[in-house]
Amino acid sequence: MDMRETFVTDTISDHEIITRILHGEKNLYSLIVRRYNQRLYRVAMSIINDDAEVEDVMQVAYINAYENLGKFAFKASFSTWLTRILINESLLRLKKRGKSINMNDDTMDKEIYQQHKIEVQTPVAKMLNSELKFALEEAIRQLPEKYRAVFIMREIEDMNVAETQACLDISEANVKVRLNRAKALLKDSLSQFYKKEDILHFHLTRCDRVIEGVMKGIEAL
């Protein structure tokens, strides 16, 4: 990505990009893909927890969003709308695996918490070794899905409570409760040892690959 593309990506608004796409400049959709690749990767990983499958899930979500741009109508935040599409696709993949998640379920048995304590022993000790980033990512991946999703959205993607609530279709109270539980499971000390920019980072080569796949899919429509 050259400096000119970086400038355009950073300065043009979602509203303007989408308006121009709807008027025929579909090549501009690559700006949307580049802008949201990091977020969608992290959110998809928080749900399906499968790095080998995540790029395909992202591409399908982007193409689904493109096909429905005319229905978007700017009635809500585009980022929330796009993230919701990604979440729905991720949940569909889990369902196809024979695994389901009830994002509205606010129950968590004490046994699960105890099992997590056994499986993720002394996170501080893990973080002191040379595999710091790996240990942190693994700790996050060990979280129960609904807590992991909220933690990544709020703490790593900097999504606010309202947007997280809208994406997951849960109450504001549930967002706060799940975030607190996620932090408790990760241990209070964990936040001292990670840079959120480095967690589940979507590297440039992968970003370019997803953009190429999405744009090819759009051309085929």
Q: Are residues 152 and 212 in the same domain?
A: no
Q: Is the dihedral of CA 116, 121, 122, 127 positive or negative?
A: negative
Q: Are residues 14 and 71 in the same domain?
A: yes
pLDDT above 80 for 112: no
Q: What integer pLDDT is reported at residue 101 of this predicted model?
A: 58
Q: Are residues 119 and 176 in the same domain?
A: yes
* Claim: this prediction has a pTM higher than 0.85: no
pLDDT above 50 for 145: yes
pLDDT, tens digit, for every residue of 179-197?
A: 999 988 887 545 555 566 7
Q: Are residues 83 and 121 in the same domain?
A: no
Looking at per-residue pLDDT, the higher value among 172 and 102 belongs to 172
Name which of 77, 66, 8 is nearest 33 in CA terms. Answer: 66
The type of residue at 49 is N
pLDDT, tens digit, for every residue of 73-100?
A: 787 789 999 999 999 999 999 888 876 5
Q: Which domain holds residue 142?
A: 110-198
Q: What integer pLDDT is reported at residue 3 of this predicted model?
A: 43
Q: Where are the alpha helices (DSSP H) in the chain?
A: 3-11, 14-22, 29-48, 51-67, 69-72, 78-96, 110-119, 123-127, 132-141, 145-151, 161-168, 172-186, 204-219
Mean pLDDT value across residues 155-166:
93
pLDDT above 80 for 156: yes
pLDDT, tens digit, for every residue of 209-220?
A: 999 999 999 998
Q: What integer pLDDT is reported at residue 185 of this predicted model?
A: 87
Q: Tell me what the pLDDT averaged over the chain comes to.
A: 80
Do the domain assignments include residue 105?
A: no
- The CATH number linked to 80 is 1.10.1740.10
Q: Are residues 21 and 83 in the same domain?
A: yes
CA-CA distance, 217 to 86, in Å (whole number)? 16
Domain count, the chain: 2
- The CATH number linked to 131 is 1.10.10.10
